[in-house]
Structure 1
Amino acid sequence: MNSMTIATPSEDELVGRAREMIPWLRERADACEQARMVSTETIQAFHDAGFFRILQPRRWGGYEMHPNVLNKVLMELGRGCPSSAWNVMVLGVHPFEVGLLDPRCGDELWSQDDTRLVSSSYAPFGTVKAVDGGYVLNGDWLTSSGCDHAHGGAFVGARLFTDDGKLIDYKAFWIEAKDYEIIDDWHVVGLAGTGSKKLRIRDVFIPAYRTHSIINYDQDSHGGLNPLYKMPFLYVFYAAVSSVITGMARGMVDLYVEHMKPRQNISQAVGAATQNPFVKGKLGEAEAKITGAAARILMNTDEAWSYVSRGELVPLDVRVRHFATNMFTGGEVFEAAHMVFKKTATRGVWLNNPMQRQMRDILVGANHITQNQDDIGDLLGGYMLGNPLPAGNQFGARV
């Protein structure tokens, strides 16, 4: 499709479309969880809304927008159906990643159909061997969210080492859907509807131009003219994960307010639940935590954009601060969601109460590697005190 035929909606229009979908997504959330994948109908609705084009290059029909447009969309969608929103997050970030590759990749992926989606599994579960002209991949890559809808293939991650075991690079490889098998092993306690199944790859050759470094951040890896593609890859991805989890927590607050307004306490001394100081206090505290987490994500992204919009790369100290502080999001909003969930008492645990599903989804989202606040707190504090960054770090710093 010629990109000139596509009108780019405004940020407000896209965020408004996401907000309008919340009731519809909530109605479908149970079925999504039971099916263990997002329905084709829901994915099509996301296509129609333009969500997958937000970070897609214009030359292939995309909007090439500020990453906070996607982040704000995710903060709304997560309120309705966390699993569906998670698919938008994963499948919606990868068009940005394609923009970092050799343009031949975008031509091969989108020349016939610019709506094709790509899933991923970045953890280096499998192995890679450098050969003439490219690499050969082998192994099973776990948790590829939305892979059933990813007719454009997947990005998988693998580490390259020297013969003596020294890390050379940590790369992402774009592999076509015909070159892997989907193994349905996604039986989990939360985010079951994401369809995050295993990809099995056996002796598949990947040309060198279909790869990029996950950990390098320099003019060679992010030297495009458009500011969007100067953004650090992992930062865009991590911020999107934090955004969707924030949306899930906001959805818990929505459900809690609906649940508490008509409720009466057993204790006649208190009466209506809305007058209970603990019910009110926990809600207010949870709202503050979630609002703070959302504001930090958007502020960090805006600060990074202030550099790339001038044609500059984001400085290392800024990248470290952004990565690290965003990684506290999952733990903070889980605490906020659990705070109000606990005040639902027994009513919240019934399987026909959507709050228990929302709580389980937040639990699993907060367990994502991008939300590892324990390790990252130590690293951030050490860096602030002058300690060196570890080799192969996620900040794109060569050490």
Structure 2
Amino acid sequence: MNANPQFLGTITSEADLIRYATSLVPTLKGRAKEVDELGRLPQQTIAELIEGGMFALTTPRRYGGHQTSVRTFLEVVSELGRGDASTAWVVALLNVTTWAAAALFDEKTHDELFNGPEPARVAGVLSPRKASVKKVEGGYLIEEGLWGFNSGIYHANWDMLGIPIVDENGKVADQGIALVPASDLRTLDDWNVMALRGTGSSTVSATNVFVPESRVASMSAAIEGKYRSTHLADEPLYRVACMPMLAIILAFPALGIARAALDTFLELLPRRGIQYTWYTRQAEAAVTHLQVGEASAKLDAARAIIERHADAMDRYAAAGEYMPYMERAKVRRDVGLAEKLVWEGVDALATASGGSLASLGNPFARVWHDARVASLHGIVVPTTNFEMYGRLACGQPADTPLI
């Protein structure tokens, strides 16, 4: 049953999508324990997300999706993150990979993907832990493969997996991504972590899985904006630069976590004093005012940075211009900075929460853990992103093609 029946059948605008996400926040907060125990999202949450169009943000309109702007994508996911970081993470990851499938593949593949018995929900992992691939007639055979941290796989029907593109002699010619039905893969159920538990980011494996050539795309071509979706060439969303899109969405849940952290801290504040001082009310202490002031500034700054880049990505796409290389590099750099600011802000509030944070029943402890784990994804690690941009600024080649 939809927890928000007033929205059912009435979501006709991007503003409606944001309002629907906001309406789910109390319900998502109430399911925190269930999410952590399941290690994935509850089926009722999935049903509510489907009913509200939360998994169709980046699906083309011609296939029944909402085809939102990047900015609306940000607003929806960050609202969900106020209620539950895992839900926001799954919505962000499934939508961005569905976007990649829409942008990088042709109309024939889209007909197979989006006109199936149920709406397409695509999970994905760019970097395999292991992938032994053979070129065969009509496509590629994944003889053996293993991909970790496959967020949202329990709720996906397709998976986009990084593989080497090899020639008939087995020589690697490029890096690619393969669209594979989730039913062709084995999920290893190995997601057992301290935070973001509901993302269900388990490892998947493949053994002797055939992928037709039409469902394999070049990653190097994608990075340069050479998309196969010529039938969507007039749609701005599918002209958004590839790596900035794949990177920036990882900050969207963090922005929701940031809001949840400040809200939760302030909600708990009236109940606390400061041990071993004369302060019986923490809210009256100057040190608390300083901590909240600095933490909130960092959290707001992180949001402003990501909003600016989301708007720029939309603007370049609307103008039909592929985002320039150094601007793309700045997105990678600033995603790292935003994650750093979010973590520093949340951790400062955690420090101000005192010893009660050790209690597993403390709602702030869950937010704190989610913020830390969200900041550890390889694409958002600040030092990696700062070094990459610094190399370019100093006239050196980047240490990664993923820009």
Query: Structure 1 length as normaliser, TM-score?
Result: 0.91
What is the deviation of 1:233?
Answer: 2.3
The structure 2 residue matched to 1:18, chosen from 18, 21, 30, is: 21
Query: In the alignment, residue 148 of structure 1 is paired with which amino acid?
Result: Y
Q: Does structure 2 retain, via aligned residues, the 8 Å contact 1:15–1:72?
A: yes
What is the deviation of 1:89?
Answer: 1.0
What RMSD in Å do the two structures reach over aligned CA positions?
2.2
- For residues 73 and 46 of structure 1, the distance between their equivalents in structure 2, rounded to whole angstroms, comes to 11
- For residues 218 and 83 of structure 1, the distance between their equivalents in structure 2, rounded to whole angstroms, comes to 31
Structure 2 residue runs without a partner (length 5+): 1-8
Structure 1 residue runs without a partner (length 5+): 1-5
Once the two structures are superposed, what CA deviation does each residue of 1:155-180 show, in whole Å capped at 9, x if it has no partner? 11123468999963222111012211
What is the deviation of 1:186?
Answer: 0.7
Q: Does structure 1 retain, via aligned residues, the 8 Å contact 2:135–2:167?
A: no
**What is aligned with 2:4?**
none
What is the deviation of 1:325?
Answer: 1.2
- For residues 167 and 278 of structure 1, the distance between their equivalents in structure 2, rounded to whole angstroms, comes to 58
The structure 1 residue matched to 2:401, chosen from 379, 393, 399, is: 393
- For residues 169 and 68 of structure 1, the distance between their equivalents in structure 2, rounded to whole angstroms, comes to 32
Residue 215 to residue 354, structure 1, CA distance change in 2 (3 Å): farther
- For residues 333 and 51 of structure 1, the distance between their equivalents in structure 2, rounded to whole angstroms, comes to 24
Indicate yes or no: 2:188 matched with 1:183: yes
What is the deviation of 1:267?
Answer: 5.2
Indicate yes or no: 2:286 matched with 1:314: no
Query: In the alignment, residue 226 of structure 2 is paired with which amino acid?
Result: D
**What is aligned with 2:242?**
233
- For residues 375 and 268 of structure 1, the distance between their equivalents in structure 2, rounded to whole angstroms, comes to 42
Residue 219 to residue 142, structure 1, CA distance change in 2 (3 Å): closer
**What is aligned with 2:48?**
45
Residue 7 to residue 167, structure 1, CA distance change in 2 (3 Å): farther
Residue 374 to residue 266, structure 1, CA distance change in 2 (3 Å): closer
Q: Does structure 1 retain, via aligned residues, the 8 Å contact 2:138–2:212?
A: yes
Comparing 26-35 with 229-238, greater Cα deviation is found at: 229-238
**What is aligned with 2:87?**
84
User: Structure 1: which 4+ aligned runs deviate by more than 4 Å?
Assistant: 161-167
User: What secondary structure is seen at the aligned counterpart in 2 of 1:136?
Assistant: strand
**What is aligned with 1:363?**
372
Once the two structures are superposed, what CA deviation does each residue of 1:352-390 show, in whole Å capped at 9, x if it has no partner? 111111111111111111212112211101101211224
Residue 341 to residue 268, structure 1, CA distance change in 2 (3 Å): closer
**What is aligned with 1:3?**
none
- For residues 141 and 182 of structure 2, the distance between their equivalents in structure 1, rounded to whole angstroms, comes to 16
What is the deviation of 1:219?
Answer: 5.2
**What is aligned with 1:108?**
112
1:164-175 to structure 2, matched below 5 A, reads: 168-175=173-180
Once the two structures are superposed, what CA deviation does each residue of 1:42-101 show, in whole Å capped at 9, x if it has no partner? 011111111112111111111211111111111111111111111111112222112121
What is the deviation of 1:268?
Answer: 5.9
Q: Does structure 2 retain, via aligned residues, the 8 Å contact 1:214–1:233?
A: no
What is the deviation of 1:190?
Answer: 1.2
Query: Structure 2 length as normaliser, TM-score?
Result: 0.90
Q: Does structure 2 retain, via aligned residues, the 8 Å contact 1:60–1:114?
A: no
What is the deviation of 1:115?
Answer: 2.4
**What is aligned with 1:278?**
287
Indicate yes or no: 2:150 matched with 1:141: no
- For residues 63 and 257 of structure 2, the distance between their equivalents in structure 1, rounded to whole angstroms, comes to 31
Q: Does structure 2 retain, via aligned residues, the 8 Å contact 1:57–1:95?
A: no
**What is aligned with 2:265?**
256
Q: Does structure 2 retain, via aligned residues, the 8 Å contact 1:212–1:221?
A: no
- For residues 30 and 83 of structure 2, the distance between their equivalents in structure 1, rounded to whole angstroms, comes to 8
- For residues 185 and 351 of structure 2, the distance between their equivalents in structure 1, rounded to whole angstroms, comes to 43
Residue 333 to residue 322, structure 1, CA distance change in 2 (3 Å): same
Query: In the alignment, residue 20 of structure 1 is paired with which amino acid?
Result: S
**What count of residue pairs does the alignment treat as equivalent?**
388
What is the deviation of 1:292?
Answer: 1.0
Query: In the alignment, residue 394 of structure 2 is paired with which amino acid?
Result: L
- For residues 144 and 120 of structure 1, the distance between their equivalents in structure 2, rounded to whole angstroms, comes to 6
Residue 240 to residue 211, structure 1, CA distance change in 2 (3 Å): same
- For residues 307 and 379 of structure 1, the distance between their equivalents in structure 2, rounded to whole angstroms, comes to 23
1:112-127 to structure 2, matched below 5 A, reads: 112-127=116-131
- For residues 184 and 22 of structure 1, the distance between their equivalents in structure 2, rounded to whole angstroms, comes to 28
Indicate yes or no: 2:385 matched with 1:376: yes
User: What secondary structure is seen at the aligned counterpart in 2 of 1:62?
Assistant: coil
Residue 284 to residue 204, structure 1, CA distance change in 2 (3 Å): same
Q: Does structure 1 retain, via aligned residues, the 8 Å contact 2:134–2:168?
A: no
